[in-house]
Amino acid sequence: MGTFNLIDQKWIPVLRGGPVPERIGLLDCIRDAHKISGIYHDSPLVIMSLFRLLLGILHRVYPLKDVESWNNHYKAGLFSPTSIEEYFEKWKDRFDLFDEVFPFYQIAEHPAGEKTTTVNKLTLHRAAGNNAVYNDHSYNEKKDQMEMADAALYLLVAQTFSPGGGVSATINFQHAPYTSPMLTFLEGNNLFETLLLNMVIESGFSAHDQDQPSWESPNPSRAETATQFTGYLDYLTHQSKMIKLTPVVHDGKTVVEKVCIAQGRGLPENTIDPFAAYRIDEKRGLVPIKIRTEKQLWRDYNTLIRLTDSGSKIRPPLNIIQAAILKEKGVIPSSGNYTILCGGIATDKAKILLWRFDKLPLPLSLLGEQDFVNLCNSAIEYAETDSKKLYSYSTAILKELIKYEGKEADKEEVKNLLASYSVERYYWGGLENAFKEFVFGCAENPENEDLFYENWKITCDRIFSVCKEKIEGSVIGSPRGPKAIAKANYHYEE
């Protein structure tokens, strides 16, 4: 069926400064990272999965021992071409999607045998098998075809984000490493900076002489309930699923229509990822902060930058902690402005409910500044207070609107009716850009932080008033509407 080697085939979508993305192979992606603006794809799951793979390669080829070794790469401004060329030459066969013995991120002899499923299963945002996705209308029977470049991308996504749940040909499916947490990657001025900023010196994983990426292992994929990782390289590249792509030829072109999937290497309990933020629980230890269907990512901003508060019950992502250390040591300029790429998926058992992705500002001048952390916390708390008032007011109106014959309104009915008006979503959506402007304002003019905070409160109150009028306007035409509004206002003003 031929070959598709990820080292030189064009499959990674990147921007080189212009508006039109192009596809390149792994070698060009790393060798020319300083000339590339960034990775571009409609799905943030693809982008984050590519980061994970690239970091696994980089930590192998350019190992970091300390701040000095990190700084040497930073000052060079690029990854040494010779090192990556020699590495890929040595391991070239292991990066072929269709190598007969070691197909990349797959297994040659699959335990499911000839039992295949649609290639939709790799994309995660399409409905396939027991992985139902809200608002999707794809079906297992739909004859989809995936080009080899896209099959390579979604193979990474499946290994990185697939939710657990259900029976496989080996053992029951378990979550992939990025199924649960909210993830954060730092974005620099080009792809080289982006990748280097996320190369953490202290990963939290114990180093062993046997640590190696999966493609160097003679047994890269196997069924395990709780994998014992040999180190950070093993974790970054471990194969959570046993997968085998089934290529076919249509009109002289090789595509993928079917795939075999079974459970591979499961995560040990309490695995700590460097790119996730955690809440410190007295009984459960570090608990990952997760993507929630009802909560925008920027509302967790203060948990990502809370670095110096000794009483905090938050452990920020290690890449952000490292950026603060590098700033304090003068390795990276405090005048720089980076971006936090924040995202992940929300799940309900085996179902993917949605994915979220956002770009949050990270002015280095404010990173690690406790006064700014406190101000951000106050800003978000103020918005939360207005949100609670809006919820109470809206609920009071709807309870009065739909109660009948002296009976109190059904709570579930009130909840569903309130959701149909999308008042809360409108409220928080109206504040997102204002919050980012608040952060940038504090960075550019720190002496005016109090003024920016007062303007933020004014914005919150203004959006609150707009939403209040929105719910009133939605019910005023109902026979019971005016009375419901009057009673809600009476209690609100009290």
Mean pLDDT score, 388-398: 91
pLDDT at 137 over 60: no
Q: Which of 315, 349, 368 is the last residue of a domain?
A: 368
The predicted pLDDT at position 425 comes to 92
Closest alpha carbon to 440 in 314, 317, 298, 312: 298
Shared-domain flag, residues 5 and 36: yes
Mean pLDDT score, 49-74: 97
pLDDT at 403 over 80: no
The answer to whether position 252 is within a domain reads: no
Confidence of residue 412 (pLDDT cuts 50, 70, 90): confident
pLDDT at 271 over 80: yes
The predicted pLDDT at position 113 comes to 80
Closest alpha carbon to 380 in 360, 357, 353, 401: 360
Mean pLDDT score, 406-412: 77
Amino acid at 480: R
The answer to whether position 119 is within a domain reads: no
Buried b / exposed e across 87-104, counting CB within 10 Å, b at 16+?
Answer: bbeebeebbbbbbeebbb
Higher-confidence position of 207 and 189: 189
The predicted pLDDT at position 311 comes to 66
Shared-domain flag, residues 213 and 336: yes
Shared-domain flag, residues 334 and 426: no
Shared-domain flag, residues 360 and 342: yes
Shared-domain flag, residues 353 and 398: no
pLDDT at 29 over 80: yes
Site of tokens 């990474």: 156
Mean pLDDT score, 205-213: 88
Site of tokens 């793979």: 53
Q: Which of 318, 333, 368 is the last residue of a domain?
A: 368
Distance between CA 128 and CA 121 in Å, rounded?
5
The predicted pLDDT at position 127 comes to 41
The predicted pLDDT at position 125 comes to 62
* Residue 79: count of CB within 10 angstroms of its CB: 21
**Cα 426–Cα 431–Cα 432 angle in degrees, nearest 5:** 105
CB 158 within 8 A of CB 124: yes
* Residue 207: count of CB within 10 angstroms of its CB: 12
End-to-end CA distance of the chain: 75
The predicted pLDDT at position 153 comes to 97
CB 214 within 8 A of CB 83: no
Domain that holds residue 471: 373-493
Shared-domain flag, residues 360 and 392: no
Mean pLDDT score, 339-361: 92
Q: Edge-to-edge, what's the strand order for the sheet holding 278-281?
A: 285-288, 278-281, 314-315
Amino acid at 434: A
CB 24 within 8 A of CB 12: yes
Mean pLDDT score, 155-175: 92
Shared-domain flag, residues 381 and 361: no
The answer to whether position 92 is within a domain reads: yes
What percent of the chain has pLDDT above 90? 66
The answer to whether position 162 is within a domain reads: no
Shared-domain flag, residues 336 and 469: no
Distance between CA 285 and CA 304 in Å, rounded?
18
Shared-domain flag, residues 189 and 104: yes
Q: Which of 334, 352, 368 is the last residue of a domain?
A: 368
Q: Name the token pair of 349.
A: 């058992």
Which of 111-125, 253-267, 406-420 is modeled with the greatest confidence? 253-267
Shared-domain flag, residues 364 and 382: no
pLDDT at 96 over 70: yes
The answer to whether position 402 is within a domain reads: yes
Tally of domains within the chain: 2
CATH number of the domain to which 415 belongs? 1.10.132.100
The answer to whether position 150 is within a domain reads: no
The answer to whether position 47 is within a domain reads: yes
Mean pLDDT score, 129-147: 54
The predicted pLDDT at position 141 comes to 44
Distance between CA 345 and CA 45 in Å, rounded?
8
Among the residue ranges 157-161, 174-178, 309-313, 439-443, the one predicted with the least confidence is: 309-313
Q: Name the token pair of 205.
A: 């994983």
| pLDDT (tens digit per residue) in 69-95 | 999 999 999 999 999 999 999 999 999
Mean pLDDT score, 27-54: 97
Among the residue ranges 149-163, 298-312, 336-350, the one predicted with the least confidence is: 298-312
Shared-domain flag, residues 385 and 481: yes
* Residue 259: count of CB within 10 angstroms of its CB: 26
Rg (CA), the chain: 25
Phi, psi of 18 (to 5 degrees): -95, 175
Confidence of residue 443 (pLDDT cuts 50, 70, 90): very high
Confidence of residue 489 (pLDDT cuts 50, 70, 90): confident
The predicted pLDDT at position 307 comes to 82
pLDDT at 374 over 80: yes
Shared-domain flag, residues 468 and 319: no
pLDDT at 138 over 60: no
The predicted pLDDT at position 490 comes to 67
Amino acid at 455: N
The predicted pLDDT at position 322 comes to 96
pLDDT at 33 over 70: yes
The answer to whether position 113 is within a domain reads: no
Higher-confidence position of 130 and 455: 455
User: How much is the mean pLDDT over the chain?
Assistant: 90
